[in-house]
C-alpha cells in the first residue's frame, strides 16, 4: 500500500506497541486542547509510539510520555507505519 492511499485511523484503535505518525487532530477536540497537544509535540507527520490503550491511551512522542483520555484519542487521526511491529 502506498503511503498516499494509507487510511488514517483513530489513535484509540491502534494496538499497543505500534508506531504511527500523526495525520490530523480532529476538530472535535477542544481548540485549547489541540494547542496543548501541539505543544506536547504532536504535529502532523511526527512519529510516535503507542504504549498502551487501557485505562488510558499512553503514547511516547520523542521522549515525552503522554496520557490521553479515549475521548481525545479517538479524534486524533494517525497513519500506521510499516515497521518492525507489523508481521
Partner 1 sequence: MTTNASGADAILLVGHPNVGKSVLFHRLTGAYVNVSNYPGTTVEVTRATARFDSSASLLDTPGVLALPSRSDDERATMQALLNENSRCLVQVGDAKNLRRTLTLTALLAELGVPMVLALNMHDEATARGVTVDIDRLGEELGIPVLTTVATGGEGISPLTHAIAQARVAESLLRYDADLEADIAQVAALIAAQCPHPHLAARGLAILFLGGDTAVADWLRSQNPACCGQLEKWHKIAVDRNQGDLPARLARERTEAADVLAASVLSRAVRSSPLWSQRIGQAVVHPLWGIPILLGVLFAVYEFVGVFGATTLVGLLEEDLFEGMLNPAMTHLVSNFLPWPWLQELLVGQYGLWTMGMTYALALILPIVTTFFFAFGVLEDSGYLPRLTVIANRLFSLIGLNGRAVLPMVLGLGCVTMATLTTRILHSPRERIITIFLLALAIPCSAQLGVVLGMLGGVSFTAVLIWALAMVGILMFSGFLAAKLIPGRRIPLVTELPPMRLPIVGNVLKKTGGRLKWYLVEVIPLFLIGTFIMFALDKSGALPAIIEAGEPLVSGWLGLPKEASAAFVMGFLRRDFGATGLFAMAHSLSPIQAVVGMITITLFIPCFASLMMMVKEQGTKTALMMVGFIVPFAFFVGGLFNIALHLVW
Q: Which residues bind partner 1 (CB under 8 A)?
A: 30-41, 43-44, 46, 51-52, 54-56, 58, 62-69, 71-72
Contact 69, 7 (CB under 8 A): no
- CB 52 to partner 1: min, Å: 7
| Torsion-angle region of 41 (φ positive above 0: left; ψ -120 to 50: alpha; else: beta) | left
Q: Given the complex with partner 1, which of 8 and 47 has the nearer CB atom?
A: 47
- CB 79 to partner 1: min, Å: 17
Q: Given the complex with partner 1, which of 13 and 46 has the nearer CB atom?
A: 46
The strand ranges marked E within 1-87 are: 9-10, 19-25, 47-52, 57-61, 64-68, 76-80
Amino acid at each position: 500500500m502506498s503511503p498516499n492511499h494509507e487510511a488514517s485511523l483513530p489513535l484509540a484503535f491502534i494496538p499497543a506497541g505500534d508506531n504511527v505518525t500523526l495525520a490530523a487532530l480532529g476538530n472535535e477536540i477542544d481548540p485549547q486542547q489541540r494547542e496543548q497537544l501541539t505543544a506536547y509535540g504532536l504535529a502532523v507527520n511526527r512519529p510516535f509510539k503507542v504504549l498502551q490503550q487501557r485505562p488510558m491511551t499512553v503514547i511516547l512522542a520523542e521522549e515525552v510520555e503522554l496520557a490521553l483520555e479515549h475521548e481525545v484519542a479517538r479524534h486524533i487521526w494517525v497513519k500506521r507505519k510499516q515497521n518492525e511491529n507489523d508481521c
